[in-house]
Structure 1
């Protein structure tokens, strides 16, 4: 049954995304991760261990994200 995206409301589209994401999470072992994800994570570990990118608590991380929104 194909989805008719043009006819869906934003609420319906968001619900569909939630359902898809939940399903993917339940079967994460079958979802391949691109090579560039591994490269970015490895770079972040190196920067963190070198003290260049310290860990933030969740409150500080959310504030940082909010401050960088357009």
Structure 2
């Protein structure tokens, strides 16, 4: 297994390539990848907020536009 020190010595490009390889590997078996319980808890809270009319879901395009407005 590769260690944290080896990762730190990689260039940014090499780290991105490693992340892409890991992502592809995990995507081949999505049924074996479990989200942590706290993910479900947060999603449940957000869905309840939307259902109560105190929140809204955004498309990715809407989110990007909102975030772009925040940049100094």
Shorter-chain TM-score bucket reads 0.7 to 0.9
TM-score computed with the length of structure 1 as normaliser: 0.76
Corresponding position of 2:62: 60
Aligned length: 70
Name stretches of at least 5 consecutive residues in structure 2 with no aligned partner. Answer: none
Deviations 1:9-65 (A, max 9, x none): 210110010110111122121112111111001111101111111122332211223
Partners of 2:71 and 2:39 in 1: CA distance: 23
Name stretches of at least 5 consecutive residues in structure 1 with no aligned partner. Answer: none
Partners of 2:52 and 2:70 in 1: CA distance: 24
Alignment root-mean-square deviation, CA? 2.2
